[in-house]
Amino acid sequence: MTRPTESGLPINPVYNPTALNDWDPTQHLNAPGTFPYTRGVYPTMYTARPWTMRQYAGFGTAAESNARYQQLIAHGTTGLSVAFDLPTQMGHDSNAPLAHGEVGKVGVAIDSIDDMRVLFRGIPLDQVSTSMTINAPAAVLLLLYQLAAEEQGASPDQLTGTIQNDVLKEYIARGTYIFPPEPSLRLTADIFQYCKSELPKWNTISISGYHMAEAGASPAQEIAFTLANGIEYVRTAIAAGMDIDDFAPRLSFFFVARTTILEEVAKFRAARRIWAHTMKDRFGAKNPKSHMLRFHTQTAGVQLTAQQPEVNLVRVTIQALAAVLGGTQSLHTNSFDEALALPTDKSARLALRTQQVLAHETDVTATVDPFAGSYAIEAMTNDVEAAATALMAKIERLGGAVAAIERGFQKSEIEHNAYRIAQETDTAERIVIGVNRFQLEQEEPYQPLRVDPAIETQQTERIAKLRAWRCHERVDAAITQMQKAAAGDANVLYPMKQALAAGATVGEVCNALREVWGTYTPTHTL
């Protein structure tokens, strides 16, 4: 009996050369680190050094998150990844009416340069690589980070890290957008240009399929919609007058790793191959670094269960193994208690230890691309590639990623797949341990981490103190210049940095841009 993959493609009980049809691995599998990078973007991969262990963390106040970062660094984390609370993600200050009840809940509350200073106190930003999961207000948080680093004495050309800065997937899956697509893409182009001049080592965007996968996208949909968004960003930058080889080497991607190891490995290989051909054949990129699809991976939070949460340790280990076998450049492993609450110190440490065991106690780092030449993996890679490119072709026929978003295409496709998964889980056709099979009559008690609601009051008081000492004339002048740039064609980030340095808050900057660009109202799906 043939079992389907997560993308609905067949998995054969036995694979042999006939499964590849006329596709010959000996002819199509180039060496690792060579075009089209099916086997990995670097020749030595983990045999030289392991992936970056980048744990995603942030909650409550900047001081509390700073303490967690210090602990993670002490336990061996090699890269920080900042989670922001929902008000920050939406460009609202902690004292805004819309922020009530959400301050510090799913990430750290950052309202101003003062909070950013505290967040990275004692952490040398010229030595640590930092990723920030921020999208619509990405420019604001990037500039706050740069200001905090400069106050430490770090030179901007020393700073390394990534801002997610992928607003297109917000319209598809997450919903933390602010502005309509057109000005959002213009702001993305401004960030590309600013970083080329001011922050040359910074990765300007992490084009994300993770959130679409968490919303229900299949592996084929995940890479198709992500790469289609990537194409839209490339077009935007080129239209703004940039040469493709000036910005493409700094593009990066962000994918999920599910428990279905074989298809996940195939997905990562297919994504690298599609992107390499797209950049070289379609856009004419000449720099080999422009052809490389470098990506961060996070284990699948949506697959973790509140029932028997300790079983999530097994799931996360399997998901992390899939990411490593697929050739990720950095990895975040979720904590086993994520389905219940924010991770405790112990669960966050266990999540990091999972990566360390894979890197140092197994042999998966001893050889590059251990699945290469496998009949099953090569056939599944071809199948995922064909399914993804078919979806990408449909998006092109609709007029590109933005036009397809405005018609609700991607969102509708994801919702249909999510409904299929829910139906299969409800009928136990899809087995989920602890949920529809091997349940316990009574769950063991668990004490989750809780965020103190008093944080909202504390942040409000910090904003009041900030406004008391700052020079309002200097803030107002910088914001006026920023609005003029937004209404014209000058780069918005330069006056924005002046406003933030003068003490403007995240909410004030975003509200000023809302006055110029408006806000986005979603359309109905197909």
How buried is 26 (Cβ within 10 angstroms: 0-12 exposed, 13-18 middle, 19+ buried)?
exposed
pLDDT of residue 28: 77
Statement: residue 525 has pLDDT above 60: no
Whole-number percent of the chain with pLDDT over 90: 90
Statement: residue 488 has pLDDT above 90: yes
Residue range 302-324: mean pLDDT, rounded: 97
Minimum mean pLDDT range among 12-16, 443-447, 467-471, 497-501: 443-447
Minimum mean pLDDT range among 1-5, 134-138, 522-526: 522-526
How buried is 470 (Cβ within 10 angstroms: 0-12 exposed, 13-18 middle, 19+ buried)?
middle
Distance CA 116, CA 105 (A): 17
Q: How many residues does the chain have?
A: 526
pLDDT of residue 150: 98
Binning pLDDT at 50, 70 and 90, where does residue 461 land?
very high
CA-closest candidate to residue 169, choices 247, 233, 260, 248? 233
Residue range 231-237: mean pLDDT, rounded: 96
User: Alpha helix locations (H) across 153-260?
Assistant: 168-169, 181-198, 210-214, 219-239, 244-247
Residue range 236-240: mean pLDDT, rounded: 95
CA-closest candidate to residue 191, choices 203, 180, 176, 177? 203
Helix, strand, coil percent content, the chain, rounded in steps of 5: 55, 10, 40
Binning pLDDT at 50, 70 and 90, where does residue 517 land?
very high
Q: Which long-range contacts (CB under 8 A, 24 or more apart) does 418-421 make?
A: 418/215, 418/216, 418/217, 419/216, 421/216
pLDDT of residue 524: 57
Whole-number percent of the chain with pLDDT over 70: 99
Residue range 413-422: mean pLDDT, rounded: 96
CA-closest candidate to residue 135, choices 103, 102, 174? 174
Token pair 């072709």 is at which residue? 393
Q: What is the dihedral of CA 308, 259, 296, 24, to 10 degrees?
A: 170
Residue range 186-194: mean pLDDT, rounded: 97
Distance CA 96, CA 463 (A): 11
pLDDT of residue 153: 96
Token pair 């080129």 is at which residue? 238
Please tell me the pTM assigned to this model.
0.94
Residue range 413-427: mean pLDDT, rounded: 96
Statement: residue 57 has pLDDT above 90: no
Cβ-Cβ contacts under 8 Å for 349 (sequence gap 6 or more): 71, 75
pLDDT of residue 453: 87
Residue range 156-174: mean pLDDT, rounded: 96
Which one-letter amino acid corresponds to residue 34? T
Statement: residue 238 has pLDDT above 60: yes
Distance CA 481, CA 487 (A): 10
Q: How many CA atoms, within 13 angstroms, populate the side-chain half-sphere of residue 302?
A: 16
Statement: residue 65 has pLDDT above 80: yes
Binning pLDDT at 50, 70 and 90, where does residue 3 land?
confident
Statement: residue 328 has pLDDT above 90: yes
Strand partners, 53: 331
Residue range 434-449: mean pLDDT, rounded: 87
- As a whole number, the mean pLDDT across the chain is 95
Binning pLDDT at 50, 70 and 90, where does residue 317 land?
very high
What CATH fold (topology level) applies to the domain 3-426? Answer: TIM Barrel (3.20.20)
Give the number of other CB atoms < 10 A from CB of residue 409: 21
pLDDT of residue 402: 95
Tokens of 484: 């003029």
Statement: residue 526 has pLDDT above 60: no
Distance CA 58, CA 83 (A): 5
Residue range 114-136: mean pLDDT, rounded: 96
CA-closest candidate to residue 484, choices 513, 463, 455? 513
Rg (CA), the chain: 23
